[in-house]
Amino acid sequence: MKPIAFAAGAFAAGLMLASAGSARAAETAHPCSADAVTHARALMAFHFGEGLPDFQVDDTAKLTGTVKALRGEGRFDVLEVWAYVIKTEYRMHFLYAQIPGDCVLMGQEILEASDPY
């Protein structure tokens, strides 16, 4: 009986360590996070003008995943930034090449978070 209890305890401890490591990884900011926020502000200003009241952009960018490059074997990191204009929310995705030590923006999109139907 004791070996089974020990194995179960070791397994539970391993799960706790793994989840703590993944939580720390999620908290670590992407190296291009600040660049994505800067581009988000510029994209909102382009679409709505600098003098728009209640213009807010989140201070952080969240890594939502990766997408395959259109050519070659590379992948792009997708960073998500949210912005708010009056009562409307906008989701922006910025695609960065996975080049260590460099923030190379390869694409961007902006979508209004609303239901037009």
| CA distance to 6, 8, 22, 25, 54, per residue, from 15 (Å) | 14, 11, 11, 15, 44
* Shared domain check, 63 and 103: yes
Question: Domains in the chain: how many in total?
Answer: 2
pLDDT, average across residues 94-110: 95
pLDDT at residue number 15: 43
59 and 23 fall within a common domain? no
Query: Residues 80, 64: contact at Cβ < 8 Å?
Result: yes
Structural domain of 89: 31-112
For residues 50 and 3, membership in a common domain is answered with: no
Residue 10 and residue 40 in one domain: no
Residue 47, pLDDT score: 84
The pTM of the full predicted model, rounded to 2 decimals, is 0.73
Residues 106, 74 share a domain:
yes
Looking at residue 76, what is its pLDDT? 97
Residue 117 placed within a domain: no
